[in-house]
Amino acid sequence: MSPANTGSGAGTTLSAPAAVRTAGGAVLLDGKMVAARVRAAVAARAAAFAARHGRRPGLAVVQVGHDAASGVYVRNKRKSSLEAGIESFAHDLPADTGEAQILALVHALNHDQRVDGILVQLPLPAGVDTHRVMDAVDPAKDVDGFHPVNTGLLAQKRPRLRPCTPFGVIRLAQEYGIALVGLRATVVGASNIVGRPMALELLLARATVTVCHTGTRDLRAEVERAELLVAAVGRAGFIPGDWIRPGAAVFDVGINRTASGKLVGDVEYARAAERAGWITPVPGGLGPMTIAMLLSNAVDAACLRMGTRA
């Protein structure tokens, strides 16, 4: 596989972005640019929704405590929502908020007719049962796509609200015309929020999927045979560039801060970019795509609730 012999992707995508190559030679999968295009399309849909229903789609963002990294994400999500014409309802709770209070807020948001999507920023403080809180979100408002109902629907090949980062990987692949059917795809990482739903998304796209985790015996061999690699481990430069199969499509989900404060992914970027056919940068890859897919989910949720299309 190489960027020259791509097929067309599925779904309603925009015209293919111009191929910009990294210094190493791989085509740069420009998440920032594609995300801007997705957000513009979301804004048009949000405006159509508002014209039809007399109100904007509403997204409630709940943050408990003041985790520095989460704070940045939450501010970005709120700002991007407003720019896309989505009403943002901010709920910042102190770090010592108890589980019962968080659940009470989630229940209130479930019944608030102005709210189409609910996002509970993770991690929640120690002592709060994250599963109980996430399970309390109305699946119809679960814009993160983390609720077991939405994960189950994805597993059953009838996706509704899809987990944003994996959905962002699929969308980016489609925009660059990377044909996924039949592709040997390896996901490194098996978390509930990235690795597992990523495997389900790739399966839905009819790739042949391998999922690696700490129990995997020969990680190098699994990575070396991957025509498409998704790295979602959370360790800086964990996948050596020399492991990348020549021509592979590399999606680096990892966001790690080095001792010098630099943001890097899970893949050793410079060397990987000399071998890969396509590669996402960190930052500027799946980070912006994740936010764009969240906004897209918010408008989808609003339309699904109102029984309309926008």
> What amino acid positions are annotated as catalytic residues?
77, 121, 144
Q: Which is nearer to ligand NAP, 130 or 216 (CB)?
A: 216
Residue 296 engages ligand NAP in binding (rule: CB under 6 A): no
From the list 41-49, 92-100, 108-116, 248-256, the region that binds ligand NAP by CB under 6 A is 248-256
Closest approach of ligand NAP to the CB of residue 177, in Å: 22
Figure out which of the listed residues 85, 145, 195, 241 binds ligand NAP, where binding follows CB under 6 A: 195
Residue 190 engages ligand NAP in binding (rule: CB under 6 A): yes
Closest residue by Cα to residue 26 from 2, 55, 54, 56: 2
Q: Which is nearer to ligand NAP, 97 or 256 (CB)?
A: 256
Q: How far are the Cα atoms of 12, 174, 201, 209, 234 from residue 169, in angstroms, in the given order?
A: 15, 9, 9, 14, 17
Closest approach of ligand NAP to the CB of residue 291, in Å: 8
In DSSP terms, 210 is beta-bridged to 186
Name the DSSP letter for residue 237.
Answer: T
Site for ligand NAP in 147-166 (CB under 6 A): 165
Q: Which is nearer to ligand NAP, 114 or 257 (CB)?
A: 257
Q: How far are the Cα atoms of 130, 208, 269, 287 from residue 88, in angstroms, in the given order?
A: 23, 39, 36, 20
* Strand ranges in the chain using DSSP code E only, listed in sequence order: 27-28, 58-64, 87-93, 117-120, 184-188, 208-212, 228-231, 249-252, 256-257, 263-264, 278-279
Who's near 98: CB < 8 A, 6+ residues apart? 128
Residue 256 engages ligand NAP in binding (rule: CB under 6 A): yes
Residue 253 engages ligand NAP in binding (rule: CB under 6 A): yes
Residue 80 engages ligand NAP in binding (rule: CB under 6 A): no
Figure out which of the listed residues 125, 148, 177, 234 binds ligand NAP, where binding follows CB under 6 A: 234
In the complex, which residues of this chain contact ligand NAP (CB under 6 A)? Answer: 165, 188-191, 193-195, 212-216, 219, 232-234, 253-256, 286-287, 290
